A and B are shown apart, each in its own frame.
Chain A
């Protein structure tokens, strides 16, 4: 049991943080804003999905670079598995976002700049996964997909975090206004939102490690 605590403390930490932010996010006080009403609480659940996705895609590009430097096959598997989990979080972010949009902006999809560009960014990563499956030879696949990933990552950052700020968007913090100011993100909300970023990132990382370990065993058995 001691060994379990020693090795798994961060999993417990992530679980506790996620449960805390869920309870606090549902019960703690929030600013009273028109149109948003209680849906402002979605901020604690919708935005952390994107943050977890960014964390996982960052891990992925880190291992892609590492793979190109070392040629280690495990690093290639780490890169692809973190993209696999990141894509799940991005889809959760997309679905929760469009549900939220339905009741605040009036439509599930208003062809808002940020909505469109995130959809494109997700397609970039789908292309990465499809590209991998199209190449049979293992070393070639690892190298080509690593290079693709290194190009896809900055493009995803530009699409999601840069371009929407340059034009008007329904999303807050866009149209030249960086940050969450429009949301009146007060101290109470920060106390929940920032831990939620960390907590959901830890959970995402945890799922990624499980996927990677399964993949390595499968790989071992196939070779």
Chain B
């Protein structure tokens, strides 16, 4: 009987531990894998920003090209 109670207590304690880590369901995508997705997002934002900047430079240059071809 003593053994049984000890086993039961251990079982409950383990259930309790399990419940502590996994009971609250949250939107944890960005926290999974050691939060690497946050870094990936940052890099993508920087890269997309730079590429967008390149597009805008391109557009500005196009305007200048139009102007200078009109002059000559």
Contact = CB atoms under 8 A, between A and B. Distances in A.
A203 B50 CA distance: 11
A213 B65 contact: yes
Q: Name the prevailing secondary structure of the A interface residues.
A: helix
Interface residues on A, range: 10 to 19
B28 interface: no
Contact of B58 (A11, A23, A203): A11
Interface string B36-55: 11011001100110010011
Given A11-B55, A220-B68, A19 B61 contact: no
Contact of B68 (A18, A23, A27, A221): A221
A210 B65 contact: no
A27 B38 CA distance: 12
A206 B64 CA distance: 17
A19 B47 contact: yes
B20 interface: no
30 contacts: A8-B55, A8-B58, A11-B58, A15-B48, A15-B51, A18-B51, A19-B44, A19-B47, A19-B48, A19-B51, A22-B40, A22-B43, A22-B47, A23-B40, A26-B39, A26-B43, A27-B37, A27-B40, A203-B51, A203-B54, A206-B58, A207-B54, A210-B54, A210-B57, A210-B58, A213-B61, A213-B65, A214-B61, A217-B65, A220-B72
Nearest to B46: A22
Interface of B: 36-37, 39-40, 43-44, 47-48, 51, 54-55, 57-58, 61, 64-65, 68, 72
Given A206-B54, A210-B58, A210-B61, A26 B48 contact: no
A203 B48 CA distance: 12
Interface of A: 8, 11, 15, 18-19, 22-23, 26-27, 203, 206-207, 210, 213-214, 217, 220-221
Contacts of A11: 54-55, 58
B29 to A, nearest CB: 12
B35 to A, nearest CB: 13
Contacts of B55: 8, 11
B64 A217 contact: yes
A67 B72 CA distance: 24
B56 to A, nearest CB: 11
